[in-house]
Structure 1
Amino acid sequence: MTRPIERIEQDLVGLQEAVRAIAQELKTAYTSYLKVLGKTMRQQLILATYYLCTQGYPEKFLNLSLNQRQLLQQAIRYLGTQTAQQLLNYEQADTELVTEEIETEDDLEDDLEMDEMEADFYLLPFPEESKEPREFVRWQQSLEIFIQNKLKEASQEANQILYKSRLLPQEIPKNILDIANTVSEATTEIIPTIPNVPNILNMVIGLEDEEDSEEANLTQVIAISLRLGEIEFTDANLTSERKQIRHIVNRLHKITVEHQKIQREKSIAEAEAAWRSSWYED
């Protein structure tokens, strides 16, 4: 038997209040997480650059003058600081495009069908006044994509700094490094990382021989690739922050499913009432 509409609406109001409380808790958790992530990311960027200069291309690094080495180090430090600030100040980046798709989370139940967002969309602002849990889910997903994109951008900029400093092989096309970072996000088999060295890519690229177009010269390239999972793994505090976020997101997903069920119950109750109000015997 369908419950009275007034009772259903009371349940909806209670759920909406709970949703907003969970959403605020999630926003606070992300602020704390991004602060730690920025600090750890900067450290890992410097460590990855150190490895590349001292283990990957030591001879080329030694060929640099003292001033060139200092300029390279300064550029990497600045890049790390700048990226950390951008992560923490994500709310100021509402007009920045995030070029990915948001898809339904695996742990959402089948009856919660999240709409896929367009391939090009803006980082969603926090829906402060919203009472719809789906909007907070979409905000959280867009923020995760924003974080991934910032790490990818930082990796690309770091590799360009190393390329311009003539540490990376000059015979490879510049866009190869960008492509490598994109591929590395999708698979660890095609472009493996170096064991026990986080955020480093070790790849072999085939370059065409100008004299013999049928043969390719294989060139090993070691480059920087900041990966969120590897950054989190290196810092216990960051791992703990991520665990807290997952816990809150799971609660948000559960209440989103419950909210949709009650919304449907309300629609059914209203439809039944509308049927009764318009029905009459011939």
Structure 2
Amino acid sequence: MRSFQRINQEKKELEKKSTQLFFEFNNIYKDYLKLLGSTSNKQLILAVYQICTHIYPKLFLKLSNSQRKELQEKIKELCKSSEFQFLSYMTVPQPISSEVVVGEISKYLFPYKKDNIKQFQDKRKRLSFTNKLDKNDKDEDKIINPEDLIKWCRGIEQGIQITLNNFSQEINNRLKQNKIISNYSTSHLFEIGSKVEDKRFLSESYPNILNLLVEENASNKISELGGKNSKEPSVIKISTLHLKLSDIEFNDSELSFRRKKISQQTEKLNQVQKKYQKIKKEYIQAKAESEWNSNWCN
């Protein structure tokens, strides 16, 4: 087995590579999330426009002029918070558990309220560590290992999904309040949407809109027993807003390009991570041997 000193040196070199990758990830994600905020706003507004004017125009026209204006103002207000919410997942300068990031941020930011933003900013100060990533600081302790960096990236990706889902829920709640879409649980529809989305409505499909066929009286269905015919459930089509990252990226070439850069960076990180796992195992074994020998000789 190689000497402990040599193994330790290789481990430190991989951690330095990981730290450099963090700075690169930080810049790439910052640009990506800023663009995602503005792009998702545009596509959100377009999707709601399609719902109100092409899918359910009669229901939209039933609203009074003041109700329509109020609905539009609420949509604008929600859009103002989008960039902040996406970028908020990068506020902790050092990678920490993604569960902590997602849990704390979602707790204060959803649904969007100004008071919640203030609470989050206060909480962020308590969450954030002293920035250990100062490039001018040569201290060995101020190093990021690949495992922590992977958790940090996962936290951002999970945060993106949380944000998109919450934006969708918030808008759908507004549309339900105005009786434009049916009063079904949209969170449940999101769960089953990928499996049962109605393919016969492709001619009416739009990006970021989920189309479903739902059996309205399915719970009342009676089986055929003793010659009795079953009660046929009525089937209705439901369309709801469902912001999907794949739709948003596909419909914006610049955002798609930035996602490609993230993927390329992730490939580099995965390669470093594989080497790091191997060297860490070797490091622990070598350290254990060193401790054993030092104690045995004494």
Residue of structure 2 in register with 1:101 after alignment: none
> Cα deviations across residues 197-248 of structure 1 (Å, max 9, x unaligned)?
1001111222239999744322221111000001000101100110111111
Match of 1:257 among 274, 277, 294: 274
Query: Deviation of residue 80 (structure 1)?
Result: 2.1
Which residue identity lines up with residue 140 of structure 1 in the other structure? C
Residue of structure 2 in register with 1:238 after alignment: 255
Distance 1:97 1:88, change over 3 A: closer
Asked whether the equivalents of residues 88 and 105 of structure 2 are also in contact (C-alpha less than 8 Å), the reply is no
Aligned residues: 248
Which residue identity lines up with residue 43 of structure 1 in the other structure? K
Which residue identity lines up with residue 270 of structure 2 in the other structure? H
Asked whether the equivalents of residues 216 and 236 of structure 2 are also in contact (C-alpha less than 8 Å), the reply is yes
Which residue identity lines up with residue 167 of structure 1 in the other structure? I
Relative to total residues, which structure has the larger helix share, 1 or 2? Answer: 2
Distance 1:154 1:273, change over 3 A: same
What are the within-5 Å matches in structure 2 for residues 139-154 of structure 1?
Answer: 139-154=152-167
Instruction: Tell whether 2:192 aligns with 1:183.
Output: yes
Unmatched segments (≥5 aa) in structure 2: 93-100, 108-126, 134-141, 223-230
Which residue identity lines up with residue 159 of structure 1 in the other structure? N
Asked whether the equivalents of residues 155 and 181 of structure 1 are also in contact (C-alpha less than 8 Å), the reply is no
Distance 1:209 1:202, change over 3 A: closer
Asked whether the equivalents of residues 106 and 162 of structure 2 are also in contact (C-alpha less than 8 Å), the reply is no
Asked whether the equivalents of residues 155 and 225 of structure 1 are also in contact (C-alpha less than 8 Å), the reply is yes
Asked whether the equivalents of residues 207 and 217 of structure 1 are also in contact (C-alpha less than 8 Å), the reply is yes
Asked whether the equivalents of residues 91 and 125 of structure 1 are also in contact (C-alpha less than 8 Å), the reply is no
SS, match of residue 9 in structure 2: helix
Supply the distance in 1 between the matched residues of 2:280 and 2:90 (Cα, whole angstroms). 31
Residue of structure 2 in register with 1:22 after alignment: 21
Which residue identity lines up with residue 206 of structure 2 in the other structure? V
Please give the root-mean-square deviation of Cα atoms over the aligned residues, in Å. 2.8
Supply the distance in 2 between the matched residues of 1:67 and 1:270 (Cα, whole angstroms). 72
Supply the distance in 2 between the matched residues of 1:212 and 1:233 (Cα, whole angstroms). 41
Per the normalisation by structure 1, the TM-score is 0.78
Which residue identity lines up with residue 142 of structure 1 in the other structure? G
Counting aligned pairs with the same residue, the percent is 31
Per the normalisation by structure 2, the TM-score is 0.74
Instruction: Tell whether 2:87 aligns with 1:88.
Output: yes
SS, match of residue 216 in structure 1: coil
Which residue identity lines up with residue 60 of structure 1 in the other structure? L
Which residue identity lines up with residue 228 of structure 1 in the other structure? L
Supply the distance in 2 between the matched residues of 1:164 and 1:191 (Cα, whole angstroms). 24
